[in-house]
Amino acid sequence: MPTDAELLDAAAAAAENAYAPYSRFRVGAVVVTDGGTFPGANVENAVYGSTLCAEAVAIGHAVASGVRSIDTVAVACLDAGRVCHPCGNCRQLMREFGVRRILVRDEHGRPQALTLEELLPRSFGPEDLAAQ
């Protein structure tokens, strides 16, 4: 099982494949599941709003491979001069698959584990539709 630091290094390696010609802000993510790990990087588009975040790509990669439950998502931003956290939309994507831990590097470069409850409190999820 990879360490948190190794997962963050893998996310940084994934960010090397980012397609970010517009923002020049490269992000990588690694999704960790029982069935293995799945990398992703941000994929921008000339229609800016069509851009895919690294976390969305990694989650899509995992789900399209059959995953339905995600333990951890590690996120690395290569070009951020400060700590970088997942955007709101990616937090919601994580919510769907029960992500237990989100790994980022803190201001000292140390791995930091956050919960979805911290990042997305009082959220809407699959169980809210269960009564339908």
- What are the residues binding ligand THU (CB under 6 A)? 20, 23, 25, 27, 42, 44, 51, 53-55, 86-87, 90
Instruction: Please give the backbone phi and psi of residue 103, each rounded to the nearest 5 degrees, phi first.
Output: -105, 130
Residues tagged active-site: 55
Q: How far is the CB of 54 from ligand THU (least distance, A)?
A: 4
Q: How far apart are CA 42 and CA 100, in angstroms?
A: 22
60 and 95 Cβ atoms separated by less than 8 Å: no
Toward ligand THU, which CB reaches closer, 69 or 89?
89
Query: For the chain, first and last CA: distance in Å?
Result: 39
Toward ligand THU, which CB reaches closer, 35 or 123?
123
Toward ligand THU, which CB reaches closer, 5 or 25?
25
